[in-house]
């Protein structure tokens, strides 16, 4: 059984984060390799959309990650506010840049999928607009942190913004049901054979797993840097630097 209280301290979390970051990086690379082969070679050309539909294999995972990372960030923020734990706030801080990049990629890949299929790169459609707001919320959280000098005050301000902004996530998710606009649900017409739908589904799931592993790996690596930046006064970091100086530099 894992001792969760031990994990909530930056001292004991630092080495664990490093090990997990490495493991998830390896997993992400393997999954992305397999996923890209399925996405670009194995999955057959779509009957109506041609090869343009292959963008789905990166569009759907990045869009899911953009929403999911926001929920996780809001969750860590709530923990940080509720229990006043440093590490929770650091996790929220580490998630924001990756979430912002995922939101930007979801919009970008969506634009390059929308142009050949809908005839436009951009429309003020409910789902696209709410995803753009998601990107602005991420950027707002990042900007707010850099605007406040005291990290503990920045933690609280960012946590409040992240939690309030979380109402946008269900809006994105249900936007295709609530508003009858350009962005369809998951109604991509394949050549109807169930075998092909299976390949497509498998491709999306593998790429999504790769995106998950990538996000976990990069966020854990970033939280390590944040710990070093913010715990500078703490004595335990000294042992870390000695070890690094001997080992790697």
Partner 1 sequence: MLDFLAMGGYAWYVWMAYGAVALVVAVEIAAVRARRRRAFDELRMSLEPPSANALARAKDAR
Question: Cα(44)–Cα(12) distance, rounded to whole angstroms?
Answer: 48
Residue in 69, 56, 49, 162 with CA at minimum distance from that of residue 116: 49
239 binds partner 1 (CB under 8 A): yes
Buried/exposed code over 133-164 (b: 16+ C-beta within 10 A; e: otherwise): bbbebbebbbebbeeeeebeebbbbbbebbbe
Distance CA 101, CA 150 (A): 26
Q: Closer CB to partner 1, residue 55 or residue 79? A: 55
Rule CB under 8 A: say whether 143 interacts with partner 1: no
Site string for partner 1, 31-50 (x = CB under 8 A): ---------xx---x----x
Supply the minimum distance, in Å, between the C-beta of residue 105 and partner 1.
6
84, two tokens:
């006043």
Measuring CA to CA, how many Å separate 109 from each of 54, 112, 153? 11, 5, 36
CA atoms of 155 and 148, how far apart (whole Å): 9
User: Shortest distance, CB of residue 118 to partner 1, whole angstroms?
Assistant: 12
The SS3 assignment for 193 reads coil
Residue numbers 196-215 binding partner 1 by CB under 8 A: 214
Residue 183 interacting with partner 1 (CB under 8 A) = no
Could you say which residues in the range 65-104 bind partner 1, by CB under 8 A? 97-98, 101, 104
112 belongs to the binding site for partner 1 (CB under 8 A): yes
Candidates 88, 93, 109, 131: give the one binding partner 1 (CB under 8 A). 109
Give the residues lining the site for partner 1 (CB under 8 A): 40-41, 45, 50-52, 54-55, 58-59, 62, 97-98, 101, 104-105, 108-109, 112-113, 115-116, 214, 218, 221-222, 224-226, 228-229, 232, 237-239, 241-242, 244-246
């Amino acid at each position: 059984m894992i001792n969760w209280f031990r994990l909530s301290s930056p001292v004991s979390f630092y080495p664990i984060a490093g090990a997990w970051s490495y493991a998830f990086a390896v997993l992400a690379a393997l999954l992305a390799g397999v996923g890209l082969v399925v996405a670009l070679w194995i999955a057959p050309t779509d009957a109506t959309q041609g090869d343009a539909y292959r963008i789905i294999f990166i569009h759907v995972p990045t869009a899911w990650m953009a929403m999911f990372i926001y929920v996780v960030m809001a969750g860590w923020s709530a923990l940080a506010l509720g229990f006043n734990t440093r590490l929770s706030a650091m996790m929220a801080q580490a998630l924001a840049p990756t979430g912002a990049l995922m939101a930007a990629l979801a919009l970008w890949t969506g634009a390059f999928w929308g142009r050949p299929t809908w005839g436009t790169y951009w429309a003020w459609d409910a789902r696209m607009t709410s995803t753009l707001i998601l990107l602005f919320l991420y950027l707002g959280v990042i900007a707010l942190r850099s605007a406040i000098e005291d990290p503990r005050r920045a933690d609280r301000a960012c946590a409040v913004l992240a939690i309030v902004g979380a109402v946008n996530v269900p809006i994105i998710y249900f936007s295709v049901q609530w508003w009858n606009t350009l962005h369809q649900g998951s109604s991509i017409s394949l050549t109807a054979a169930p075998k092909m739908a299976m390949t497509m589904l498998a491709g999306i799931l593998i790429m999504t797993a790769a995106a998950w592993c990538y996000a976990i790996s990069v966020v854990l690596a970033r939280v390590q840097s944040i710990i070093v930046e913010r715990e500078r006064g703490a004595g335990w970091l000294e042992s870390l630097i000695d070890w690094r100086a001997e080992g790697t530099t």
